[in-house]
Amino acid sequence: MGRTTTIIIAAAAAVVILAGVLLFMLGRGSETAVNDLDKEMSDMALPSTDAAAPGAAPAGTLAGRSLVVVSWGGAYTKSQIEAYHKPFEAKTGVKINSVDYTGGIAEIKVQVEAKNVNWDVVDLEIADAQRACDEGLLEKFDAGILPPAPDGTPAVQDFVPNGITPCAVTSIIFSHIVAYDSTKFGTNPPKTLADFFNVKDFPGKRGLRKTNPKINLELALRADGVPGDQVYQVLSTKEGVDRAFKKLDSIKNNVIWWEPGSQPPQLLADGQVTMTTAFNGRIFDAQVTEGKPFVIIWDGQLQELDVLAIVKGTKNLDAATQFIAFATDTQRLADQAKWIAYGPARRSSLPLVGKHAIKGVEMGPHMPNAPQNSANALQIDFLWWADHQEELNQRWSAWLAK
């Protein structure tokens, strides 16, 4: 590599690092500010080079190795297996062992602290990934190895805002929505998030996620009339937290709790609930591949970034790094969207999203970030949750125990 090329790469890396720091800082401010900076970054001309990405080993050197990749199971893991695992195995000779979990960072923390790490790559909600990164539970990720978009746009400009963090790379945008069984409400079905809390006019049990307060508190405030751009301002006060729990109190006696993402569609199918919160992709899968009479209420949806990260202390750091770089390239993210209704995190992937791989359904209208679905959406503030998760987990546990 020549001296000039080295200088160019160093300059590009400096720009990426500076932009990442600014985005991180602005993440604690307004979403508008983050989006404005992201636009400026997208318009910025960065140096390019034909040299191989630093840290990327030749694909053939991984043959015979194995990786443990941990994710959420069900239709979501199926989409990853088809779009990421199988092609990576075919390209590199690496054997991927898929493991399911229910989220959070507790299991990662146990492995890292015991110095007995047997997970390599973990799919995390971005707030959990930020907490784990802050606690030293994840490996730092060199964004310089991520491939550019097909037109040469650097990865840092191609991903959605906050799509690349110090320890993780975003793969999809998913949504927490409310869904209902259309056979239960006749000609007057629920239409808004507020209807989820109205058990008088829309009777029946409600499904809510038990794992942690995130999502539940935001949904409660939005259903109680708090505008999306004020939710975290309200939640930053004791009065706001009390308001959210009071709203949840109004339906607590009607709640059936769920934990793994596979449960909400099953609760609906079994008639245990008439309405439930759920991951939008799980409901899509039940609708399209199983023919269930479920309907999504997009009003007030909460969008979240889901990321891939590497557990600190893995013995397979090189293979895990290459897997993430491969899994989050333009084509792989577009391919995943052919299996499940989660939006790809790269802008260059969206035009490549087509029909469902089996059912032939056009996937665009089912994406949470489709214009007709996202008019009243709120993106989860993962930095806010990284700062407040512990204290609110304690409040949540105490509330559940009442």
Say if residue 42's pLDDT is above 70. no
pLDDT-derived band at 382 (thresholds 50, 70, 90) equals confident
Does residue 374 lie within any of the structural domains? no
Say if residue 52's pLDDT is above 70. no
pLDDT-derived band at 117 (thresholds 50, 70, 90) equals very high
Based on the fold, state whether residues 9 and 92 are members of the same structural domain: yes
Based on the fold, state whether residues 19 and 149 are members of the same structural domain: yes
Q: Which of 367, 379, 177 is nearest to 278 (CA)?
A: 177
Predicted local confidence at residue 95, as pLDDT? 97
Based on the fold, state whether residues 319 and 395 are members of the same structural domain: no
Based on the fold, state whether residues 248 and 337 are members of the same structural domain: no
Does residue 78 lie within any of the structural domains? yes
Query: What CA–CA distance (Å, rounded) separates 140 from 164?
Result: 11
Predicted local confidence at residue 360, as pLDDT? 94
Say if residue 231's pLDDT is above 70. yes
Based on the fold, state whether residues 321 and 285 are members of the same structural domain: no
pLDDT-derived band at 328 (thresholds 50, 70, 90) equals very high
Say if residue 51's pLDDT is above 70. no
Query: What digits encode the pLDDT tens for the residues 207-229?
Result: 999 998 999 999 999 999 999 99
Say if residue 195's pLDDT is above 70. yes
Mean pLDDT computed over 130-145: 95
Say if residue 46's pLDDT is above 50. no
Predicted local confidence at residue 274, as pLDDT? 97
Mean pLDDT computed over 1-22: 42
Q: Which helix (H) or strand (E) holds 12?
A: helix 3-26
The one-letter amino acid at 370:
A
Mean pLDDT computed over 198-209: 97
Degrees, nearest 5: CA angle 327-306-344: 55
Predicted local confidence at residue 27, as pLDDT? 39
Based on the fold, state whether residues 220 and 278 are members of the same structural domain: yes
Q: Which residue has the higher pLDDT, 94 or 44?
A: 94
Predicted local confidence at residue 289, as pLDDT? 86
Q: Determine the structural domain holding residue 156 and report its residue range.
A: 3-173+305-366
Mean pLDDT computed over 16-21: 42
Q: Which residues of 244-267 are buried (b: 16+ CB within 10 A; e: fewer)?
A: bbebbeebeebbeebebbbbbbbb
Q: Which of 261, 323, 321, 257 is nearest to 101 (CA)?
A: 261
pLDDT-derived band at 61 (thresholds 50, 70, 90) equals confident
Does residue 328 lie within any of the structural domains? yes
CA 388, distance to chain mean position in Å, is 19
Mean pLDDT computed over 368-395: 90
Say if residue 38's pLDDT is above 50. no
Based on the fold, state whether residues 298 and 309 are members of the same structural domain: no
- Who contacts 102 (Cβ-Cβ below 8 Å, separation ≥6)? 72, 211, 259, 260
Give the least confident one: 37-46, 121-130, 162-171: 37-46
Query: Considering the chain, what is the average pLDDT of its residues?
Result: 87
Which residues is 274 bridged to in the sheet? none
Based on the fold, state whether residues 205 and 337 are members of the same structural domain: no
In which residue are the tokens 């990576």 written? 88
Based on the fold, state whether residues 7 and 141 are members of the same structural domain: yes
Q: Which of 395, 318, 333 is nearest to 367 (CA)?
A: 333
Query: What CA–CA distance (Å, rounded) separates 28 from 372?
Result: 28
Predicted local confidence at residue 369, as pLDDT? 80
Does residue 372 lie within any of the structural domains? no
Predicted local confidence at residue 6, as pLDDT? 41
Does residue 180 lie within any of the structural domains? yes
CB atoms within 10 A of CB 177: 28
Based on the fold, state whether residues 323 and 351 are members of the same structural domain: yes
Does residue 57 lie within any of the structural domains? yes
Mean pLDDT computed over 164-170: 97
Q: Say what percent of the chain tops pLDDT 90.
A: 74
Based on the fold, state whether residues 163 and 227 are members of the same structural domain: no
Based on the fold, state whether residues 167 and 201 are members of the same structural domain: no
DSSP symbols for 238-304 = HHHHHHHHHHHHTTGGGEEEE-STTHHHHHHHTTS-SEEEEEHHHHHHHHHTT---EEEEEEEEEEE
Say if residue 37's pLDDT is above 50. no
Does residue 371 lie within any of the structural domains? no
The one-letter amino acid at 177:
I
CA 59, distance to chain mean position in Å, is 28
Q: Which of 31, 129, 103 is nearest to 379 (CA)?
A: 31
Predicted local confidence at residue 127, as pLDDT? 87
Say if residue 399's pLDDT is above 50. yes
Does residue 289 lie within any of the structural domains? yes
pLDDT-derived band at 139 (thresholds 50, 70, 90) equals very high
19-23, 74-78, 137-141 — most confident range: 137-141
Predicted local confidence at residue 58, as pLDDT? 47
Q: Say what percent of the chain tops pLDDT 70.
A: 85
Our count of domains for the chain comes to 2
Predicted local confidence at residue 18, as pLDDT? 42
pLDDT-derived band at 388 (thresholds 50, 70, 90) equals very high
Mean pLDDT computed over 302-306: 94
CATH number of the domain residue 238 falls in: 3.40.190.10
Mean pLDDT computed over 351-361: 92
pLDDT-derived band at 294 (thresholds 50, 70, 90) equals very high
Task: Give the predicted TM-score (pTM) of the model.
Answer: 0.73
Predicted local confidence at residue 119, as pLDDT? 98
